A = this chain, B = another copy of it.
Amino acid sequence: MEFRTKIKTWTRMVEEALDHYAAEEDLPEKTLYKAMRYSLLSGGKRIRPVLSLAVCELLGGDYKRVLPYACALEMIHAYSLIHDDLPCMDNDDFRRGKPTNHKVFGEAIAVLAGDALLNKAFEVMLDDVEKDASSLELLKRKIKAMSIIAGYAGSHGMVGGQVVDLESSGREISGELLTYMHSRKTAALIKAAVISSALICGANEEDLKALEEYSEEIGVAFQIKDDILDVEGEFEKTGKAAGRDAKLEKPTFVSVYGLKKAKEMLSEVTEKALCSLDRFGEKGSFLRQLAIYISSRGE
């Protein structure tokens, strides 16, 4: 299968599973299920679960084993977007071209739908672990995968990065702190997607290390590219660069390093990501194309 067909196939696989996990139920709290589904099933690139499935293919693993964890990551991603969009956070009215969760269901339900999605991520993984009786070794790998996901999602991972992001608004920050922030805010779940899948598929130490490096680099690449697209998109729309004056004045790779240097950095981390895949030869081709896709999207 070629690159785009694989993305399509895996996206569909993930969306069917999400639809099943977050079924709408006719219970007194049904608004909650509607709100959870509204954000979870409203499109999006599904880059985290697709990465999990790509790693699974690379390692010759079984998709069914990885799917609950891939979906859990997407639930964590979805909850973080719902809370991020709240008036007290980024105060966004639209996401993916649709009104944000709180615009449709109200702020209170949006807070609770986010909470429920984070909780659901663990319910889905624990349900899988509970049912699994194949071998003690696989059980331990799954527990480790879950623990990695929890770690990267929490105060030392994504949520910690969000706090740094919040507190950096309107301030000058160092390149070091910017990298610290994005290594948590954006890259953490991307790393979790790659590493958790590798663990479940039984990767050896060296493969695991290489994939970890790959995920770190594409996580950063993803953010730098986002920052570049923001500026260039803004430029196209208004004729003036956004940079430091961008919405909420959040520091970005472009505002800290300038556009030229940011583009150089993007090439550099993409190159590093590609190098880390060397050991996989031909098998690494999807992940290679994905790294290139991330750094060239919108062009």
User: A residues bordering B, Cβ < 8 Å?
Assistant: 27-29, 31-33, 36, 79-80, 83, 86-89, 106-109, 111-112, 114-116, 118-120, 122-123, 126-127, 129-130, 136, 139, 143-144, 146-147, 150-151, 153-156, 159-164, 166-167, 177, 180-181, 184
Contact = CB atoms under 8 A, between A and B. Distances in A.
Contacts of A36: 155
A31 B163 contact: yes
B155 A130 contact: no
Contacts of A177: 28
A120 B88 contact: no
Contact of A126 (B89, B143, B160): B143
Kindly list the 5 A-B residue pairs having the minimum CB-CB distance in the complex, ordered from nearest. A88-B107, A119-B154, A29-B160, A126-B147, A29-B163
Given A28-B181, A83-B111, A126 B146 contact: yes
A184 B32 CA distance: 14
A120 B155 contact: yes
A88 B116 contact: no
Contact of A150 (B123, B143, B184): B123
Given A115-B83, A143-B130, A167 B123 contact: no
